[in-house]
Amino acid sequence: MAVSFEVPRRGSTLKEIWIQFKQASRLGWLIESNWADPFVFAVYSLIRPLSTALILVFMYLVVVRGSTSNPFFVHLYIGNAFFMYAGRVMMGISYAIIDDREHYEMLKYIYISPLKIFVFLLGRGVAQVITTTVSVLVILLLGLWPLGIRIPWSSLNWPLFFISFPLGIIAIAFMGYLIAGLALVIARHSWAIADGVGAVLYVVSGAIFPIDILPSWVQVISRAIPLTYWLELLRRSLLGSSFSPSFNTMPDWELFLWLVGLTVFFGFLGYFVFQRMNIVARRKGLIDQTSGY
């Protein structure tokens, strides 16, 4: 795989960052996709999320034996579709550290190149956003037909959707940095942390069920993560109603403020932890450690 890099003129910092970001995104895309022809890659990208969605469809059908236009099912389906961003973008950023350090043994070369590691990881995350968007669109189309979920097109709240959606992606990216930071200083268990955080978020964010059904102490965690508010806002903007009864009384602006506040909090936390762990890993000589291969 040949990756050509443009050499920026000195002094053009923004342009330099843009080139690094662009090349890292391209590299991420090539790593994701160049092992197969485009058709096989398309099937590969869709088969996992489609299967997860269909598991939920059959779980619903076997119990309820009713119509898939039921509001409960529609909320569950939409939540599951958008949660894919959390799984894949967060993993994309954190796994880049694990893969490049342990598997391809390239992380040390990234560090000694003019690339900024922070920008490099962001680019790797962007490649995941693109592939995930395709998967989400296909799952939503499958939901509309043949599953027949009903979306009230006339009352869609596009402004709410378009301001909430990117904010949630930013929050997810910073959570990815948080895990990437931990992965820098942890050897054998770094993949488990990445997978574990994704699995925890799937449960506590109420992606596929209302958070009210969780034990009360878990609901405290649910309310402390941006994903819960993000999924709730996306559901409201697309479906016009809440999944969780406890959010029923909360107006859109309040949910949005929670999302903004928690995104800023996780933004600082992710950035701080990553930069701190980056220094620790370099001091301890962990950048080129290999423990799993």
Partner 1 sequence: MRIPPPLELFIRSIIGRAYPRVIGANRELSWLIPETVLPLLGLAAYVYVYRAMKAPTEFVGYVVLGGAMTAYWLNILWSMASQFYWEKETANLQLYIMAPVSPMAILLGMGIGGLVASTIRAGAVIIVGSLLFGVTYQVSSLGLILLVFFLSMVALYGMGMLLASLFLLSGREAYNLSNALQEPVYLFSGFYFPVKSLGFWAAAVASIIPLTLGLDAMRQLMFPGDPTLGFLSPWVECGILLLLCPLFLYLAKVALVKMERAARIKGTLSLRWQ
Out of 6, 12, 48, 113, the only residue in the binding site for partner 1 (CB under 8 A) is 48
Rounded Cα distance, 89 and 10, in Å: 32
Which tokens belong to 82? 């958008």
Pick 48 or 284: Cβ nearer partner 1: 48
Nearest of 64, 104, 56, 58 to residue 80 by alpha carbon: 56
Position 60 contacts partner 1 (CB under 8 A): yes
Position 63 contacts partner 1 (CB under 8 A): yes
Out of 64, 144, 224, 279, the only residue in the binding site for partner 1 (CB under 8 A) is 64
| Residue range at the interface with partner 1 (CB under 8 A); choices 55-63, 118-126, 171-179, 247-255 | 55-63
DSSP letters of 203-265? Answer: HHTTSSS-GGGS-HHHHHHHTTSHHHHHHHHHHHHHHSS-SSGGGTTS-HHHHHHHHHHHHHH
Pick 3 or 7: Cβ nearer partner 1: 3
Which tokens belong to 235? 């559901």
DSSP letters of 265-281? Answer: HHHHHHHHHHHHHHHHH
Position 165 contacts partner 1 (CB under 8 A): no
Pick 16 or 232: Cβ nearer partner 1: 232
Position 134 contacts partner 1 (CB under 8 A): no
| Residue range at the interface with partner 1 (CB under 8 A); choices 130-138, 145-153, 199-207, 254-262 | 199-207
Position 138 contacts partner 1 (CB under 8 A): no
Rounded Cα distance, 153 and 239, in Å: 9
Position 268 contacts partner 1 (CB under 8 A): no
For residue 46, give every residue at least 6 positions away whose Cβ sits within 8 Å of its Cβ, in sequence order, or none: 134, 135, 138
Rounded Cα distance, 179 and 174, in Å: 9
Pick 199 or 220: Cβ nearer partner 1: 199
**Rg of the chain's alpha carbons, rounded to an integer?**
20
Position 185 contacts partner 1 (CB under 8 A): no
For residue 48, give every residue at least 6 positions away whose Cβ sits within 8 Å of its Cβ, in sequence order, or none: none
Out of 12, 72, 187, 276, the only residue in the binding site for partner 1 (CB under 8 A) is 72
For residue 282, give every residue at least 6 positions away whose Cβ sits within 8 Å of its Cβ, in sequence order, or none: 111
Minimum CB separation of residue 183 from partner 1 in Å reads 14
Residue that the structure tokens 């053009």 belong to: 12
Considering only residues 77 through 116, tell me which ones interact with partner 1, judged by CB under 8 A: 103-104
Q: Which residues bind partner 1 (CB under 8 A)?
A: 35-36, 43-44, 47-49, 51-52, 54-56, 58-64, 72, 76, 103-104, 188-189, 192, 195-196, 199-200, 202-203, 207-210, 213-214, 293
